[in-house]
Chains A and B, each alone.
Chain A
């Protein structure tokens, strides 16, 4: 791959924006929040984040927002991921590895079906009392 400049990056951004405008891509109100504290990183949260970004890009859901946050108190169930979107309850999922991230995009976000065996009660009691 040839070394890109900031100008190349801007061109790529403009091209992507044009194609997004034409297709009226869905996902403007969808937010994915990934726990990226020591516990999350140790459990592979960086890989989880990349898996979300790759799958959402493949699904042309370029407007979805992917944010990072600290520890949500479920260190034993990392990586933890919260999904906020219209038409679905706010859900915190645990043990979200790369395959589960793909499943969340396809089933929860696109299919509007919960993935029951990864749902966590939220948030952990000692964090809640702050």
Chain B
């Protein structure tokens, strides 16, 4: 099981890229004790039967691990949401991509900690390939946007230690800018 909400997010984004997404749109909107996340990809999409299989912990497309029957990414997320009063939805069409949306109730005692968004954004933005990605992060009335293409043009690469180190500074400054209006105890600001 994943420990932080950002781990679930990283896993869903990884699925989108595995499905061949050329452009992945991620929204993380936090307000009134809820964290709403959506990951919309332009990958190969799924049939109704494949969507059902994605929710089955023993379901897999059989490509990554031909001898194994396991696929835990989405089942982990659904289980965590069921246990903490959250919501989950998935919509998909073959050839038209998939959108995974979920909401965590941040006031529920068993909701996992959020984890570090700057660290997670750096990790998912640096996932390899020629894909593009847009991230919208909002906290109350504050927000910021990230474009993988723009960051790649600015930094020249998203894989060398030099680029990734200064990308972290950039991402932390953006996250600070949305956190600062409401300084103090905030769920997920500090992991236990």
Q: A residues within 8 Å of B by Cβ?
A: 1-4, 6, 8-10, 12-13, 16-17, 20, 27, 36-39, 41-42, 44, 46, 49-50, 53, 56-57, 61-71, 73, 126-127, 129-130
Nearest first, the 10 closest Cβ-Cβ pairs linking A and B are A62-B162, A126-B67, A3-B177, A4-B173, A57-B165, A56-B161, A38-B73, A1-B173, A9-B170, A12-B166
Interface of B: prevailing SS: helix
What CA separation (Å) do A8 and B174 show in the bound complex? 12
Instruction: Specify which chain A residues have a CB less than 8 angstroms from the CB of B166 in the assembled complex.
Output: 9, 12-13, 16
A70 — which chain B residues lie within 8 A by C-beta? 14, 18, 64
Q: What interface size band does chain B fall in? A: 35 or more
Known: A1-B169, A12-B169. 12 other contacts (CB 8 A): A1-B173, A6-B154, A17-B162, A38-B72, A41-B2, A42-B1, A42-B76, A46-B123, A62-B160, A68-B126, A68-B127, A70-B64
Tell me the B residues contacting A by CB distance below 8 Å: 1-3, 6-7, 10-11, 14, 18, 64-68, 71-73, 76, 119-120, 123, 126-128, 144, 150-151, 154-156, 159-170, 172-174, 176-177
Flag if B174 contacts A3 (CB, 8 Å): yes
Minimum Cβ distance to chain B for residue A110 (Å): 14
Q: CB-CB < 8 A to A62: which residues of B?
A: 160-162, 165
Query: How distant is A112 from chain B, measured CB to nearest CB, in Å?
Result: 19
Cβ contact of A130, chosen from B66, B120, B150, B174, cutoff 8 A: B66
The reply to whether B64 and A71 contact each other, CB–CB distance below 8 Å, is yes
Closest residue of chain A to B144 (Cβ to Cβ) is A3
Once the chains are docked, how many angstroms separate the CA of A129 from the CA of B67? 10
Q: How far is the CB of A62 from chain B (nearest CB, A)?
A: 3
Residue of A27, A39, A44, A50 contacting most chain B CB atoms (<10 Å): A50
> Complex formed: what's the CA distance from A63 to B163 in Å?
9
A sample of 10 cross-chain residue pairs with beta-carbon separation below 8 angstroms, ordered by A number, consists of A37-B64, A38-B14, A41-B10, A46-B7, A46-B119, A53-B168, A62-B165, A64-B161, A67-B159, A70-B64
In the bound complex, residues from chain B placing their C-beta under 8 Å from that of A66 are: 126, 159-161, 164
Asked whether A126 and B68 contact (CB < 8 A) given A36-B123, A46-B10, A68-B123, the answer is yes
